[in-house]
Amino acid sequence: MPPIPRALLRMFLLCLPFAAWLVPLVWALGSNPLSAPFVARSQAELSASLTRQMSWALQPEHLLRRIDAAVAEGDVLRLETLVQLAQDESVELGDARQRAVAEVRAQHGATDDTTCLQCALDIQACSTLQQMGTCALPFELSPLGDANALRRNAEAWWSNSEVDRLETALATVGLGATGAALLSGGTAAVMAAPVKLGASVARVARRLGTLQPGLISGLRRLVPEGSPLTSPTALRALRGPLAEMGTVVRNTSFADTVVLLRHADSPEDIARLARVAEAQGPATRATFDVLGKGRVFRTSLRLSDKVIGVLLLAWLCGLQLATLAAGWASRAALRPLVRIGVTRLAT
C-alpha cells in the first residue's frame, strides 16, 4: 500500500475538527427541527418572564405614558386597569391627567346610575365591569341566562328578524353542560363546569361586542361544513375552546374574561390566553393591558431544544471554519516572508 502523501494527511488532520461539528449539524438538520421551532414555556418560566417584564413596564414614566395613550384612544376599560395599577404602585397622576381620565369616563358612560336589575336582564345595560360582575354574573351563569338568550332569539325568529345562531349555540351548550353536571355529578360535573363557564362568557362577550370576528369565524370553522351550529356534532366541536375560556374565568374573573376575549382572534389564541391566565391569575388582564397581546403571546413561547442545538452546532461549525480560514490565510501570507528570510540567510 503506497504511503499517504504528507500534504493530504495534514489537510485531513486540519479539517477533522470541522468535520466533527459538521456531521452532527447535517444529521440534526435532517430531523427537520424548523418544522416546529417554538414550544410553549412551562408555567413557572412564563410567570417569571412576565413578572420581570411587568416590573419594568410599571415604572412611573412608562405607566403614565400608557395612561396617556389610553386617554387618547378613549379605551375606558384599559384606562380603568392602568389607573388602578397607578394607585397600587403609588404613582401620582397629577391634576391635569386626573381631569382627562374623568372626561374619558364621563364620555363613555362609566357611571353607576344603571339599576342592577336592568344590568342583569340585559348585559348591554351594565355601565361598569364591577356592575357586570355583581349584577349580571349570577344571572348569566345560571340556566336563566341561557334561557333568556334562547327566548331573545326565539322572539327574533318569530318576528322574522335575524337570529344570532352563535348565541343560540352557546346558550344550548350552557344548558347542556348544566344538565350534565346536575344529572351525573362527580367527575362529569367537574368536566362540565369549565364548558358552562366558557359558554356563558362567550355569549356575554358576543352581546357586548368583545368577541372578535376572527374568533367567531374560527369557532364556526370547527363545525363540519353544512352542520347547523346547534347540532350535536357542532356542540361537541365547540366544547374544547369553551372549556379553555372557562379556564380563563376560573383563574381571573367573569368580567375580566369578557374583556380579555378582545385579544383572541382564533381558537388557538384562546388556548394561549388560558395558559397565560394559569400563570398570571388575577393579574392577567393587567398584564395584557400593560404589555400588549403580541408581547404576552410571544413570551409564552420559546425556541425548542432542537433549534437551540442546531444553532449551537452551526455556530461551532462557523467558528471552526473561521479558525481554519485564518490559519490558511496566515500561512499563505507568511510563506513569501519565510522564503525571503531563508534566501537572505543563505547569502
| Every domain of the chain and the residues it spans | 6-37+306-346
Calculate what percentage of the chain has a pLDDT beyond 70: 68
CA–CA gap between residue 80 and residue 67 (Å, rounded): 9
Distances (CA, A) of 186 to 175, 180, 183, 192, 215: 18, 10, 10, 10, 32
Q: Which residues have C-beta within 8 Å of that of residue 20, sequence separation ≥ 6? A: none
Q: What is the mean pLDDT of residues 36-48?
A: 73
Sign of CA dihedral 124, 126, 129, 134: negative
Task: Give the gyration radius of the chain's Cα atoms.
Answer: 31
pLDDT for the residue 113 = 47
CA–CA gap between residue 282 and residue 67 (Å, rounded): 20
Specify the range with the lowest mean pLDDT, choosing from 60-64, 100-104, 108-112. 108-112
Average pLDDT over the chain, rounded to an integer: 76
- Residue with the bigger pLDDT between 74 and 190: it is 74
Contact yes or no for 187/236 (Cβ under 8 A): no
Contact yes or no for 43/278 (Cβ under 8 A): yes
Strands 301-303 and 38-40 turn out to be: antiparallel
CA–CA gap between residue 316 and residue 14 (Å, rounded): 15
Contact yes or no for 204/139 (Cβ under 8 A): no
Per-residue pLDDT tens over the stretch 287-308: 898 888 888 888 887 666 666 6
Sign of CA dihedral 235, 241, 247, 253: negative
